[in-house]
Structure 1
Amino acid sequence: MSNNRSMRSMVRVLSKQKCGLRICHINAQSLLPKIDEFRDIFTDSDVDVICVTETWLRDELNDDICCLEGYRVFRFNRVNRVGGGVAIYVKRTIKCKLKLSATVDSTIEYLFVEVVGNDGNLLLGTIYRPNRYIDFSPLYTVLEEISLSSPNIVLCGDFNCNLLNTNVLTHNMQTYNLKPANTNVPTHYFGRDASLLDLMFVSDIHDVAFYDQLSAPAFSKHDLIFLTLRFSLDFSVEKITYRDFHNINIQELGDRTREINWDAMYYLPSSNDQIEFLTYNISNLFNTHVPLKTKILKPNNKPWFTVNIRNLIQQRDDAYTNWKRYRLNELRRAFCSLRNRVVAEIRKAKAKAKKTRHHQVWDSYKESLKKYKQELRIAKRSHGDPSVSQ
């Protein structure tokens, strides 16, 4: 990967390599403190499914706090203990439903979502095994149940099993007809050690059109892993239907309303006929002068995510790449300094944007109030109100 490109731009590069279902996984090691950069990276991207492990989210936090525009989110949160947790973000244009979730006492955390395709469905699971001492048996039990009814499966997550040192997991997964997409490139870096912990397993390796990974210094020492699967989606575009009251031609609406013989309603034989008369004419006025419009929902950009912040992010990512390559203490200090600066700049920019928005709303309110008072004064003057000064 080129060192002079930000993670945001590289995700877009990966997404355009091949056609198919674009899936990525990242170990976030606490998502909320990084949610702003997470949104900047993936909002308006071509990634269809984003799997996240170690979300560190809690049940009392609603989805709004970790939402991603243009995606629906499925979550499993660890209960009674800190850390852990998994989430799956799926584009709203994709038909899907939650199929299976871990229980509170599960030693391995997981979520399974069923994605609807034109030629059959796909079962997509996100797995988090907290440490290498936890037995895989609970996961194997789940796979034994679902593999019989779901021939097309994709698993991704942090398995905390280094495939560079052992092939036991790979061998056991073959029992459920699952093969790893990557068997020799490390995904986790700690000190001078490198290991392959972040994995993707698929039912048919020939369905993998593209696989790659890239450093994710915004989140953790784990690489982001990315896979494009040959899978034909059944799309469902999210739309809203509304009436545009802001652009009504009041003059034409008034003229058309006055043309209707409303007195005719009083001569109708029953109340039902009168209601039908009113409903027909009012609906006709609405449909003619305030017609229904349909709009496809699109994500909004965050105006406070400035060019300066993007440049700092790129510098931080480059510093991380240099540290990962040479493993020198001074390079690590440079990366940590830039990482902390990015966090501080994002926090400061958000606070400034919030303050600016508050002033804009207040100024708009004052302007509307001033205009209303002027119109009220003119109306009173036109009616000869002596209390209004000339």
Structure 2
Amino acid sequence: MLDRLKIAHFNTRSLIAHFEDVRQLLHTESIDILCLSETWLNEAIEDKNVVIKDYCLFRVDRNDGRRGGGLMVYIRKHLKISVSKIDVKKPCDFEYMFLKLNLGGKSCILGLIYRPPNYGVNTCIEQMDELLSQLIPTSDYFMLMGDVNVNMLDVTNRLNLCCSNYGLTQVIDVATRISRFSESLLDPIFMSFPEKKLDHGTVDIHFSDHRLVYVTVNLKIPRFKQKFVTVRNFKYFNHDMFLNDLLSLTWHDFYRAERIDEKVNLFEENIQYIFNLHAPFRTYRVSKPRAPWLTDDLRLMMRERDNAFSKFRISNSEEDRLKYKELRNNVLYRVRQKKKE
């Protein structure tokens, strides 16, 4: 299984114009997955014109006649992962593409977005909230990146608050677009699994006014050492039969014993004999570590959240959506709180 994965993004402002630079960048920076925004491709440009050896590609073009836009993802072919494009049929004021990666038994959704600067921020954030509420519950890991044209150096901005409500952490911490008069972080990387981050940063590239942003993640799942636990099995325990056998015990030897330690041993032998009949010992193999923070109360909250999500998927009503969002946010808050305890 792949242990490390380097994922990067930058705004290319025409892939055709900078195709050779992009090809060189993939190899010099050893990038496994490269996400591009503003490819400026359209349906007239075939895949064969933008193919890079040893990489497969996924693209979403802007085909409404306007110049600009477009998204592309290059994924190294030798990676032992399966990739599928998620068909999200939801009209949005920003461009997006979501891919589902199968990482050795774990699923990860990789999202790429581009919000043109003239599209309303608040409307886009509301639409993003809708997408996140649909997608995040369907995978083990979630990652979102792109050019959002919102300055993420202001950590109180609404986009950051929206994503943090879903347990996503923004890992890029320096400006990604620098002009003579301003510095801004327009190219964030949001992750639901920041604990697996090995490295992150930015790289200056001469053919774009945006820096490349990247994150390297550790995908190696630590092997849990199996252990065996022996406990009494009460699956077929019958309370009435147990009491009946307990009352039928003979205690002659117990009463004839003169020393106290003999009486204790005889008492324990009789009781254990009855327990062994009705609740014999059984050895279990524990193959997964226990999550101490996952309490019964939290399991109940998760079940209620999942039921609300299923109801919303069927009804698609605003009332059910708001109910699901409330329960989802409560679960996220409680999980974070429990993990800190």
Superposition map of 1:371-386 within 5 A: none
Post-superposition offset of 1:44: 7.5
Matching residue of 1:371: none
1:87 maps onto 2:72 in alignment: yes
Matching residue of 2:229: none
Matching residue of 2:333: none
Find the residue that maps to 1:116 and give its secondary structure. strand
The separation in 1 between residues aligned to 2:50 and 2:90, in whole angstroms, is 21
Matching residue of 1:172: 162
1:130 counterpart letter in structure 2: P
1:204 maps onto 2:204 in alignment: no
Matching residue of 1:229: 217
The separation in 2 between residues aligned to 1:101 and 1:27, in whole angstroms, is 23
Q: Given the superposition, is the C-alpha separation of residues 104 and 56 from structure 1 closer, same or farther in structure 2, using an over 3 Å criterion?
A: farther
Matching residue of 2:312: none
Post-superposition offset of 1:151: 3.0
Give the one of 71, 75, 82 matched to 1:96.
82
Residues 34, 73 of structure 2: 8 Å contact kept = yes
Answer 1 or 2: which has greater helix percent.
Answer: 1
Superposition map of 1:318-329 within 5 A: none
User: What are the ranges of 5 or more consecutive residues in structure 2 without an aligned counterpart?
Assistant: 222-341
Matching residue of 2:275: none
Q: Deviations over 1:138-187 (max 9, x none)?
A: 222111101111130111111111012352222110122211012x4111
Ranked by relative contact order (alpha carbons within 8 Å, sequence separation 6 or more), the top structure is 1
1:21 maps onto 2:5 in alignment: yes
Q: Given the superposition, is the C-alpha separation of residues 88 and 78 from structure 1 closer, same or farther in structure 2, using an over 3 Å criterion?
A: same
Residues 82, 103 of structure 2: 8 Å contact kept = no
Post-superposition offset of 1:105: 5.2
Superposition map of 1:162-311 within 5 A: 162-167=151-156, 168-182=158-172, 184-218=173-207, 220-232=208-220
1:74 maps onto 2:58 in alignment: yes
Residues 106, 140 of structure 2: 8 Å contact kept = no
Between 1:41-50 and 1:169-178, the stretch displaced more is: 41-50
Q: Given the superposition, is the C-alpha separation of residues 109 and 35 from structure 1 closer, same or farther in structure 2, using an over 3 Å criterion?
A: same
Post-superposition offset of 1:21: 1.1
Post-superposition offset of 1:101: 5.0
Find the residue that maps to 2:34 and give its secondary structure. strand
2:12 counterpart letter in structure 1: A
Give the one of 138, 143, 146 matched to 2:127.
138
TM norm structure 2: 0.59
Q: Deviations over 1:46-92 (max 9, x none)?
A: 31100000111001211111111111000000121210011111111
User: What are the ranges of 5 or more consecutive residues in structure 1 without an aligned counterpart?
Assistant: 1-18, 234-390
Post-superposition offset of 1:190: 2.2
The separation in 1 between residues aligned to 2:105 and 2:91, in whole angstroms, is 36
The separation in 1 between residues aligned to 2:9 and 2:202, in whole angstroms, is 10
Post-superposition offset of 1:43: 4.0
Answer 1 or 2: which has greater strand percent.
Answer: 2
The separation in 1 between residues aligned to 2:87 and 2:52, in whole angstroms, is 21
Residues 21, 232 of structure 1: 8 Å contact kept = no
1:50 maps onto 2:37 in alignment: no
The separation in 2 between residues aligned to 1:171 and 1:70, in whole angstroms, is 38
Give aligned pairs, total.
214
The separation in 2 between residues aligned to 1:164 and 1:44, in whole angstroms, is 28
Residues 84, 101 of structure 2: 8 Å contact kept = no
Please identify runs of 4+ aligned residues in structure 1 that moved more than 6 A. Answer: none
The separation in 2 between residues aligned to 1:175 and 1:227, in whole angstroms, is 22
Residues 78, 104 of structure 1: 8 Å contact kept = no
The separation in 2 between residues aligned to 1:68 and 1:104, in whole angstroms, is 30
Identity %, equivalent residues: 26
1:173 counterpart letter in structure 2: C
Residues 101, 110 of structure 1: 8 Å contact kept = no
